Structure 1
Amino acid sequence: MSVIQVTVAQIQSVSEFVYKVILTSEEALPEFNAGQYLQVVMSAEDKRPFSIANPPYEKSFLELHIGASEHNPYAMQVIERMQKEGKIEVELPCGNAVIQDDAENSILIAGGTGYSYTRSLLLQKLHANKGAKVSLYWGAKTPADLYEMNYLQELAQQHSDFVFVPVIEHAQPDWNGRTGLVHKAVLEDFDSLDEQHVYVAGRFEMAKVVRDEFLPKGIKAEQLIGDAFAYID
């Protein structure tokens, strides 16, 4: 891993609680794999992880999607420091929840800003163009929280091997899509998961439920990929 100082080129509010951050450097950025993350160095003892949202073939910048608010000071302090100082140190690459095989059929499951992890995987898969089927299930509380829904719908129209399924928790008057828990939508669509690799990004509780409910559907433990699995029993 490398620790480098980067410039905060952009901070854009993309939803009520999510900021898209673009980081650049005058020097070549360290290489990373789709699915890895970086750590923002607040101090020697305080490093805060955020998924890298852009794919590895986009080499001139690093993109982060940070969910931050006054109720989430852990992330909000990072945004405020970036806004104030304009530069920050980051450590990367981190994490092992990377693409296992460009040619595998994959299901990507994201809860909230866990989408940033799946975004890098998705774009890398489509770029590799190996003919693999990729399905992205993105769950959120409201349609507004699906801040790149239009972009993903356009991608799905452009790529016949990509299916995008947005899911919100509860039915709303202006929503005609799927509702409920995002992993339940996957189980409704797939009778068997033995030929899939499933990548999961979200709360640890969600990862545990996915593991417990997906294993009886034929998938092997090693076909469930996500950094959270290393921290749950």
Structure 2
Amino acid sequence: MNKKKRSWKKGILGGIAIFLIAILVLLFFGVYFPNISFVGEIGTIVMSLFSLHLVILSVILGILAILMIRLKMRRLALVSGITAIVCTIGFAIPIAQMLQIANENDAKISWTKQLFSAPDMGGPDLSKSMKYATVDGNDLYMDISVPKNTTAKRTPIVLIHGGGFVAGTRNQSPSWTQFYVDRGYVVFDVDYRLAKDGYTTWDKAAPDVASAIVWIGQHADKYQVDMEQLLIAGGSAGGSLALQVGYGLN
């Protein structure tokens, strides 16, 4: 009976350990070798959303390695232990870098929100949507969020969504939009043309964003924004477009 129970424990522990090793190694390579097709995309996305969770999973794998040593599963325990150490350190490094930047800028970090908050995924808010251009038969929109109870000219910020130039939409990260609105910015969440089969947009997306900025300038008085203070920001593909447009404007 004891042998059966011991064998059952080994099977459960071994299965969980192998599963964690496969997931953590895949994501580790994705984070540190982002040029690897698919693996790099998955690793960077998961790391950006669940960095603390990955550290915790790595620590759990280390605990499993200790339990497997007690059950004389030495080979798997060795592999699990090495993987746990490497991944814990590897996933903790970006977190440490973010903490350093946060401390330098007096930014507060909520570990509770990091652990238990759902990914910030939104979509177009039609009550705030305005069409800013029609190109190649595509209507392009932006969602405009204006802070309340302000009369002076405000700083406009253009937010550009990510999605690898093939996916995503305006107002993709509503918590970021609200973050800026709460601090007095007028936020313009913009769409741009996305690539699809037979239709590339590597040379079209940045001009779309530039067109949105022209539209904002034409309506600056309506939204009480100071175009001299214009900010452009984005994540992933949106960050790339922000740089392209920013350098182009300069």
Higher RCO, Cα 8 Å, sep 6+:
1
Structure exhibiting the larger radius of gyration computed from Cα positions: 2
Could you say whether these structures have the same fold, taking a TM-score greater than 0.5 normalized by the shorter chain as the test?
A: no
Name the structure with the higher strand share: 1
Q: TM-score, normalised by structure 2?
A: 0.29
